[in-house]
Amino acid sequence: MSATVPSIGELFARTRAENRAALVGYLPAGYPDKATSIEAVEAMIDGGVDLVEVGLPYSDPVMDGPVIQAAVVQALESGMRVRDVFDVVRASAARVPTVVMTSWNPVERFGADAFAEALATAGGSGLITPDITPDEAGAWMDASKAHGLDRIFLVAPSSTDARIAMTAESSSGFLYATAVMGVTGARAATSSAAPVLVERVRQVNDIPVGVGLGISNGAQAAEVATYADAVIVGSALVRALGDGGVDAVRELAKELRSGMERA
């Protein structure tokens, strides 16, 4: 990672000191092709994204809704492979903290330690693993610690208090709070369960909490920014890229950041 790019912990220390939420943007590597996905990530950063999630295309996604599923299929059809993902990470990580979001199976097949080493070498900060819990992630806990990477696990409105406490304790960087039950996708309104979930986390741990699933515009981002440490946007950015290209990604990121700053 570049000396000028903060760690995830440093980023959240700064945003908390500035009394604002961080904007986190997701795009799948290789959509619609590798070169354009790098341009789109850079445009997202130009628009105001503080932290980037690079999606690893996988043929059997667990949480992805139709927008991201279609993008992932196109990325795979364009020839995107696991090693190519690190090139996208490298471009993003030169500017902002960057994590990979992936199902566990590709990491396991690649080898947890080999994946961690490749991600760290590319400048990546950590990994979001939506389909594996800390008590199932022994290999990743060891590999991520060995290579200085953050472990970002998920909690949901259905999580028990004990599960939230255990997951928060096992996570580093930030904790990903899914605002709604179900797959990803932009929604007309934010979830009423999200503020409650964030408060439940804060009762047991002071780790930064990012809220994702369903945020699609500046007004929704502003609402979430009033109670979460990070606003996470995925499907809306993917749709913008598909509908309007790289410029549309930049403009949506600007709208999201502007809404959050008004909040």
Indicate which residues carry an active-site annotation.
53, 64
Please say whether the beta carbons of 59 and 262 come within 8 A. Answer: no
Rounded Cα–Cα distance for residues 40 and 199 (Å): 34
Sheet holding 98-101, edge to edge: 150-152, 126-128, 98-101, 51-55, 22-28, 230-233, 209-212, 175-178, 154-155
According to DSSP, the β-strands at 175-178 and 209-212 are parallel
Question: What b-and-e string marks burial along 136-164, b requiring 16 or more CB atoms within 10 Å of the CB?
Answer: ebebbeebbeebebbbbbbbbbebeeeeb
Q: Specify the 3-state DSSP secondary structure of 4.
A: coil
